[in-house]
């Protein structure tokens, strides 16, 4: 038996039907491990030791409520066998502060997944630049002039903020350039924030595909998040329909090249986003889609994650 601490959003915000963090908790609890939960605000340093006000849980996913509290305790983060950082974005100063706490906890012996240093160093948008050969034509800039030139070249583009999630703040600008300046000024806060701009990939009609990598190895199925009527965004949070499908040869090739590199940096769970054969984002904070893939294919993603974690901790 091991003790796992999940640092995540409030338990009341979990969607019992599709929450990936809950699926991970459930798999760990079913395997006989202790499951604990904290918020990032519960992290603190007492006499130099990083601790977390933590709640131990008994998981009953098919019941209401889905958990029972077994009590609270102020525990040294390094006393847990593993700390699972699953706080959803935004990647703001509160999130960064939590990673600083966790970096100190690592120095005190804690094992944190994903690595707090790796979380800080891998912007989910800018990390794409390392693997730009797999991406559609892409620029990241503060300058409206750069974006206008890019639009002039490609005619149909997607603009998105660097700190967005769930499809928030994504705009498509077609050949007429309607509202391009206004969109850039608003999203970029008059040039204060850099924006990612990509050539529109028409294969989005077949889905924005999430490919999960666990310990550098791809889950054999992706979840294609297909935009519904009137939308260009496939994100489930934006109303997209999730359809699980086997990885394409191209997705598998890219995943096998990227996965081991990122796993060596402490990114044990990541989500690659594809449109057509193009890689568009690399998600590292709290990748989702465990439940949808498991329900539609029978491949237990949470079990694959737990098997990897147990093997890693015991190695």
Which are the catalytic amino acids?
Answer: 125, 160, 210, 225, 233, 273, 281, 283
- Say if CB 289 and CB 207 are below 8 A apart: no
Distance CA 99, CA 175 (A): 42
Residue 281 DSSP SS3: strand
Q: Which residues pair with 76 in a beta bridge?
A: 51
Distance CA 17, CA 37 (A): 19
Q: Look up residue 168 and give its DSSP letter.
A: T
Residues 6+ apart with CB under 8 A from 122: 262, 265, 267, 282, 284
Distance CA 213, CA 202 (A): 25
């Amino acid at each position: 038996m091991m003790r796992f601490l999940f640092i995540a959003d409030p338990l009341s915000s979990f969607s019992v039907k599709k929450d990936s963090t809950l699926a991970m908790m459930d798999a760990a609890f079913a395997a006989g491990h202790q499951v604990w939960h904290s918020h990032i605000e519960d992290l603190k340093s007492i006499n130099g030791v990083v601790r977390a006000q933590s709640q131990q849980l008994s998981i009953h996913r098919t019941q209401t409520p889905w958990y029972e509290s077994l009590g609270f305790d102020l525990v040294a983060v390094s006393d847990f066998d593993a700390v699972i950082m699953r706080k959803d974005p935004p990647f703001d100063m509160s999130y960064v502060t939590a990673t600083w706490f966790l970096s100190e906890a690592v120095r005190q012996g804690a094992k944190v997944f994903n690595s707090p240093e790796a979380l800080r160093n891998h912007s989910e948008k800018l990390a794409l630049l390392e693997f730009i050969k797999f991406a559609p034509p892409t620029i990241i800039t503060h300058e409206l002039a750069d974006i206008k030139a890019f639009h002039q070249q490609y005619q149909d583009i997607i603009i998105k903020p660097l700190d967005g999630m769930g499809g928030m703040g994504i705009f498509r600008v077609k050949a007429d350039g309607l509202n391009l300046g206004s969109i850039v000024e608003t999203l970029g806060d008059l040039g204060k924030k850099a924006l990612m701009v990509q050539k529109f990939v028409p294969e989005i009609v077949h889905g924005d595909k999430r490919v999960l990598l666990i310990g550098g190895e791809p889950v054999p199925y992706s979840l294609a998040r297909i935009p519904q009527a009137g939308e260009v965004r496939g994100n489930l949070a934006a109303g997209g329909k999730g359809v699980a499908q086997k990885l394409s040869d191209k997705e598998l090739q890219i995943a096998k090249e990227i996965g081991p590199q990122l796993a060596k940096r402490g990114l044990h769970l990541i989500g690659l986003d594809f449109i057509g054969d193009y890689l568009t984002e690399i998600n590292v904070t709290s990748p989702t889609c465990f439940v949808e893939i498991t329900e539609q294919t029978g491949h237990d993603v949470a079990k694959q994650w737990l098997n990897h974690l147990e093997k890693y901790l015991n190695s």
